[in-house]
Amino acid sequence: MPLLCWSDSAQPVLLPLIYLMLRRRHKSVNTIRRDVSVLKWLYEWAEMSLGLNIDAQIFAGRIEKISGHLDQFAYWLRSGRVALNVVGRIGRSEPADWLHPRTYNEYLASLRHFLLWAAERYPSQSETESSLRQQIADIKNKIHWKFEALTLGGKTEVDVKGLDSSQVERVKSLMFFNAPGNPFRNTARLRNWIVVNVLLETGMRRGELLKLKTTDLHEIDGKFYLVIRREPDDPTDSRAVQPAQKTLSRTVSISTALFSDIEQYILTARRPTRNKRRIVLKHQFLLTSERGTPLSLSAVNYLFDVVHAHLFRQSDVPFHPHILRNTFCNNYLEWRVDDNGAVLDSALDELRQICGWNLTSKMPLRYAAKWISAQANEHNRRRINAVWNEINRKDQF
């Protein structure tokens, strides 16, 4: 787990250590790394600009001394953490140095969680319990509204990407395990074929894919399913960097063809051969390296880098594991609403379930916005063509 340490002694900074262990240890490594970075900047800025030790102030119950300077810290953070007292600079730093609003708001959210936790855990002394509770509530309320004022309003339009049908066919043609142009070794072809197809058929994340076990493959009444489990601290996972799992546990259906491919892989390719015999594995993870160890994140990233180099190097099409999740969401909404006449709200609820989002998640709305935009443009095209056809018809008479 990433930690914030003092540069001179290499010892962890006490307050962030307590916070991370009590409140953030269940988060993904990238989220914790972001939290640590933001806290590092806060500690550096407070020492540099105010001459304050954050730990000492909070332990003494003087958190308002920090929250009172949040607007100054926020400006310093937004401007790219560039010192404002540099000799020779007139005005603010170059716009290119400034944080993107979304990144800036995420940093503020990390800091807000930390300060609210600290305000509740380390209040100043109070004579009675009721006055202590009121004091904590007042401080937390001030911090809350301070961050509300600092958070940048407005939303950046999110470009929902995804592959079209022809691009998906190109990927499948290259990745088919018996294809003559397949760029991977024979021992890895079936596994890589399964990686791509599981992501396309289920929309699961890369981390969820790598956490699948052989016991997660099920057949019920002639239908086939994969069970996605959220197990962040699996003791059987020997990988140095364990895959992150952000979404909820769920069961998703797969095609008969994919089930057969997975079954064939388990029987013939999952366990490497040594001295003409299949080795015994000490884990149940479905996807393995050629040494029999659980497949790593870097191996999956390499797979997608190779495919990108073969198919999309000359274009601006990104190719990474998450774009297959985008593709799945786009295709599911199009199939469910356009081809089957489902109500959009119902299709969005189904997408939340399949993708592991909670029932109030707004993520499906991003994909719905793309679908609605496409529908609106198509209807407008038909309207314009109808108008011009009517004008041309009148001109003929």
* C-alpha–C-alpha distance, residues 38 and 158, integer Å: 24
**CATH 1.10.443.10 occupies which residues in the chain?**
161-397
Rounded distance between C-alpha atoms, residue 206 and residue 302, angstroms: 13
Separation of alpha carbons 210 and 300, rounded Å: 9
Query: Is the model's pLDDT at 200 over the cut of 80?
Result: yes
190, 215 Cβ separation under 8 angstroms:
no
Give the pLDDT confidence score for residue 378 in this predicted structure.
86
Encode pLDDT of 222-243 as tens digits. Answer: 999 999 998 877 888 999 888 8
pLDDT band at residue 125 using 50, 70 and 90 as cut-offs: confident
CB atoms within 10 A of CB 296: 17
Identify the residue whose tokens are 């015994």: 280
Locate 89 and state its tokens. 């600079």
**For 269-320, where are the alpha helices, taking DSSP H only?**
297-311
Percent above pLDDT 70 for the chain:
92
End-to-end CA separation in angstroms for the chain = 78
- DSSP for 328-363 reads HHHHHHIIIIIIT---HHHHHHHHHHHHT--TT--H
**Paired residues of 294 in beta bridges:** 288
Hey, which bits of the chain come out as E strands? 217-220, 223-228, 250-254, 273-274, 277-278
3-state secondary structure of 175: helix
Give the highest mean pLDDT range of 224-228, 313-317, 332-336.
224-228
Residue 261 has pLDDT above 70, yes or no: yes
Q: Are strands 277-278 and 250-254 parallel, antiparallel or unpaired?
A: unpaired
CB 236 within 8 A of CB 283: yes
Question: How many Å apart are CA 45 and CA 41, to the nearest integer?
Answer: 6
Are residues 366 and 160 in contact, defined by beta-carbon separation less than 8 angstroms?
yes
Residue 158: its pLDDT value, please?
52
**Beta strands per DSSP E along 135-206:** none
CATH number of 161-397: 1.10.443.10
Which residues are 274's β-sheet partners? 277
| CB hemisphere CA count around 270 (13 angstroms) | 20
